[in-house]
Amino acid sequence: MKDWTASQLQTLDANTLWHPYGSATQAPETYPVSSARGVRLQLTDGRELIDGMASWWCAIHGYNHPVLNRAVTEQLEAMAHVMFGGLTHAPAVRLARMLTDLTPPGLDRVFLSDSGSVSVEVALKMAIQYWFSVGQPRKQKLVALRNGYHGDTFGAMSVCDPVTGMHHLFGDVLPKHFFAPAPTTPFGEACSDDDLREMAELLEQHHQDIAAVIVEPVVQGAGGMRFYSADYLVRLRALCDAFDVLLIYDEIATGFGRTGKLFALEHAGVEPDILCVGKALTGGYMTLAATLCNQRVSLGISEGEAGAFMHGPTFMGNPLACATACASIELLLSQPWQRRVQEINRGLEIGLSPARELANVAEVRTLGAIGVIELKEAVDMDRIQPMFVERGVWVRPFGKLVYCMPPYVMNPDDLAILTAAMVDTVAQLA
């Protein structure tokens, strides 16, 4: 197997594997990776790619980092996994303490799970079970934003945009919830009354049935890479309080520095009742997520009819993942990560700016370590993906968006190569 060529790997892959959002009968071209180090992916055919995606936004320290390698190795020698029912261990306890110390003070209870989608499922179940436990079982509906994305499992799909999202095929079987328009006021500006008008009307008319509002703070990720006013979060918190509705923040994509703050909620200075984190939690090494909640939620559930929160993943609190997450968080905080994110933002702004002059470009926008070129028409993936590989970079567009979320360790030279490849490739499409 070690001697398989790139061509053999691609053929076997096409015949046996099913890739995300891919066809089993018309499999797109894949690029076999033999190793990864720093910000570079080494392909089996000898080519090297600068990774602009941080493996779907999670590998914030790059690849093969000695600190994280050591954390995995040391924990592996002790135990890779042990059930979390009735047992506990130091990596999980340390991680929970770290998360409660780093997030707003009211979020003092941590539920661990093994993926971002599941952390959203947990958040939705927490909200619904809370209201059932405190004697208001009617409150089972949720409110989400248009253009939002929260994951691929059924509960998470039900709060993704039902029209422009990726899950409209399942519309007839998903639970029906309420949707409010996404705010249009750009990041850095005070939001207008228009941004909240329909949200306020929904809450006023249906708050007796609504358990929670769920939003991605400041950045709507896979639903469009949209950046919006932090002031919206302040005013949304006030609305939720006024109508006695819980507020859930999905920070799976934005947590751990991506927007220039450790958590995107810090741009607004308000806290949710429930918070989801994942992706960069382990620096891209292991799959792990967490759902944090305040005492109102945890006590309400625990003192209710069931006496317990009704959820329990098999790999909850996996020691290997928890130890890696602890090491990743410590590594992030030990370094000038904010300065690095600011430097990446400057490089993205300078490097992507020429795309604003291209006829096929609708908008160029950056925030923290996120750079987006939004086109006027959707890209042809079969055409554009090889163009990036030929230029020595890994960028994975979707829809009308050619974007990057590089590892924080990317140096200015590599960032310049990455942004130039994005601009030049978009120009070729024109």
Domain membership flag for residue 256 = yes
The token duo for 411 is: 């140096």
Residues 341 and 329 in one domain: no
Q: What is the largest CA-CA distance in the chain?
A: 64
- Cβ distance 140 to 211 under 8 Å? yes
Q: Could you tell me which residues are beta bridge partners of residue 16?
A: none
How many Å apart are CA 158 and CA 123, to the nearest integer?
13
Please give the distance of CA 305 from its chain centroid, rounded to a whole number: 33
Nearest to 179 by CA among 152, 155, 193, 198: 198
Nearest to 323 by CA among 263, 279, 278, 283: 283
Of 94-103, 155-164, 232-241, 372-381, the range with the lowest mean pLDDT is: 155-164
pLDDT above 80 for 193: yes
| Final residue belonging to a domain, choices 333, 352, 367 | 333
Domain membership flag for residue 406 = yes
- Cβ distance 421 to 397 under 8 Å? no
pLDDT above 80 for 104: yes
Domain membership flag for residue 175 = yes
pLDDT above 70 for 1: no
What is the pLDDT at residue 152? 95
Identity of the amino acid at 112: L
At 377, which CATH number?
3.90.1150.10
Residues 265 and 408 in one domain: no
pLDDT above 70 for 118: yes
Domain membership flag for residue 10 = no
DSSP string, 230-273: THHHHHHHHHHHHTT-EEEEE-TTTTTTTTSSSSGGGGTT---S
Compute the average pLDDT of residues 11-21: 92
- Spatial neighbors of 340 by CB under 8 A, at least 6 apart, are 408, 409
Residues 91 and 182 in one domain: yes
At 143, which CATH number?
3.40.640.10
Residues 314 and 169 in one domain: yes
pLDDT above 70 for 158: yes
> To the nearest 5 percent, what fractions of the chain are helix, strand and coil?
40, 15, 45
Catalytic residues: 21, 149, 250, 279
Residues 141 and 283 in one domain: yes
Residues 169 and 283 in one domain: yes
Number of domains in the chain: 2
Angle at 311 between CA 74 and CA 300, to 5 degrees: 115
Domain membership flag for residue 204 = yes
Compute the average pLDDT of residues 196-219: 98
pLDDT above 80 for 91: yes
pLDDT above 70 for 201: yes
Cα–Cα separations (whole angstroms), residue 135 to 204, 252, 308, 397: 20, 31, 15, 46
What's the chain's average pLDDT?
96
Compute the average pLDDT of residues 128-153: 97
Residues 172 and 284 in one domain: yes
The token duo for 270 is: 């308000």
Identity of the amino acid at 361: V
Domain membership flag for residue 1 = no
Residues 274 and 376 in one domain: no
**Per-residue confidence band for 198, with pLDDT thresholds at 50, 70 and 90:** very high
81 is in which domain, residue-wise? Answer: 69-333
DSSP string, 143-166: EEETT----SSHHHHTTS-TTTST
Residues 160 and 225 in one domain: yes
Residues 149 and 220 in one domain: yes
Residues 411 and 270 in one domain: no
**Per-residue confidence band for 304, with pLDDT thresholds at 50, 70 and 90:** very high
**Per-residue confidence band for 55, with pLDDT thresholds at 50, 70 and 90:** very high
- Spatial neighbors of 175 by CB under 8 A, at least 6 apart, are 155, 158
Q: State pTM to two decimals.
A: 0.97
- Spatial neighbors of 268 by CB under 8 A, at least 6 apart, are 217, 218, 230, 231, 232, 233, 234, 237
Residues 95 and 41 in one domain: no
Domain membership flag for residue 220 = yes
| Final residue belonging to a domain, choices 280, 308, 333 | 333
Nearest to 373 by CA among 408, 422, 424: 422
Q: Report the C-alpha dihedral over residues 59, 61, 65, 70, rounded to 10 degrees.
A: -90
How many Å apart are CA 60 and CA 101, to the nearest integer?
21
| Final residue belonging to a domain, choices 333, 352, 377 | 333
The token duo for 282 is: 């382990």
Domain membership flag for residue 14 = no
What is the pLDDT at residue 371? 98
